[in-house]
Structure 1
Amino acid sequence: MPASLCGTWDIISNTNFEGYMVALGISPNLRKIALKLKQKKVIELKGEQYIIKTTSSFRNYTTRFNVGQEFEEFTKGLDNRRLKSLVTWKGNKLVCEQTGEKNNRGWAHWIEDDKLHLDLYCDGEVCSQVFKKKGCE
């Protein structure tokens, strides 16, 4: 069984976030704001449903899903698109494949060296983020 992703996580590195946002079609003004934000993730597992909250001082985004069940997702406050998303375990990674207007879009979360890693990808651009667990859970 993969390591638990649950907890509260503060971002400590964010590589190629701008390239990823350009691939999503985010406006230059919003990109400037987003690049200055310090994101936090809160990941919970309630029954079989994962809840992932991404928060900052500017915008918050929450997604809820059951692993292995396709769901409709509206990326309100991000790039405001309607997608079909499917999250599965691939080895120790929780991987989401998203279909919609953009090609090769999705993300992967995993734990390595007591840190939460997140790769966000879209149209050949990959943003790699690393988070450190906040306090004791």
Structure 2
Amino acid sequence: MDSFCGTWSIVESQNFDEYMKAIGVNAAMRQVGNLTKPTVVISAEGEHATIQTKSSFKNAEVSFVLGEEFDEKTLDDRHAKTTFMLDGGKLVQLQKWDGKETKIVREIVDDQMVLTCTLDDVVCIRKYQKA
């Protein structure tokens, strides 16, 4: 978990609009989401971790214990049952809501944090650089 800790700034985003559409984000909110350049702050102590997402539009914070499901209100106002797990050096987040499930995988690749967001056949990749 330590390799994820720190402050990360987004540097690249691919297919984010399609991903937001797939999870049910309306057109107006997608427009804002596509323009927003979030900073992500990750901290951890043992099995407890916190991910803060900060932007000029909206801030969010999620605290969790690895492997324990909890209720999450997402940045786009979905109410999901969420679980975080470590899997082979990757931080895997599963969100379930309204019969849907999305998987967000965070991994460190060449000093970048790469997020791969998947819902069915829609895949979005967002890359962050440590600030």
- What is the Cα deviation at residue 3 of structure 1? 5.8
1:104 corresponding residue in structure 2: 101
1:66 corresponding residue in structure 2: 65
Aligned pairs, how many? Answer: 131
2:44 corresponding residue in structure 1: 45
Q: How does 1:6-25 map to 2 (within 5 A)?
A: 6-25=5-24
Instruction: Name the CA shift for 1:25/1:10 in 2 (closer, same or farther; >3 Å).
Output: same
Is the contact between residue 2 and residue 44 of structure 2 (CA under 8 Å) also seen in structure 1? no
Q: TM-score, normalised by structure 2?
A: 0.91
Residue identity opposite 2:26 in structure 1: S
From 65, 68, 81, give the equivalent of 2:78: 81
- What is the Cα deviation at residue 106 of structure 1? 2.4
- What is the Cα deviation at residue 40 of structure 1? 0.8
Q: TM-score, normalised by structure 1?
A: 0.88
Residue identity opposite 1:97 in structure 2: L
Instruction: Name the CA shift for 1:84/1:49 in 2 (closer, same or farther; >3 Å).
Output: same
Say whether residues 1:131 and 2:124 are aligned partners: no
From 114, 117, 121, give the equivalent of 1:120: 117
Give percent identity, aligned residues only.
Answer: 34
Is the contact between residue 115 and residue 132 of structure 1 (CA under 8 Å) also seen in structure 2? yes
Give the gaps of 5 or more residues in structure 2: none
- What is the Cα deviation at residue 103 of structure 1? 2.4
The structure whose residues are more often strand, as a share, is: 2
Residue identity opposite 2:88 in structure 1: G
- Give per-residue Cα distances to partners, 1:74-101, cap 9 Å, x unaligned: 22x41x2221111111111110112221
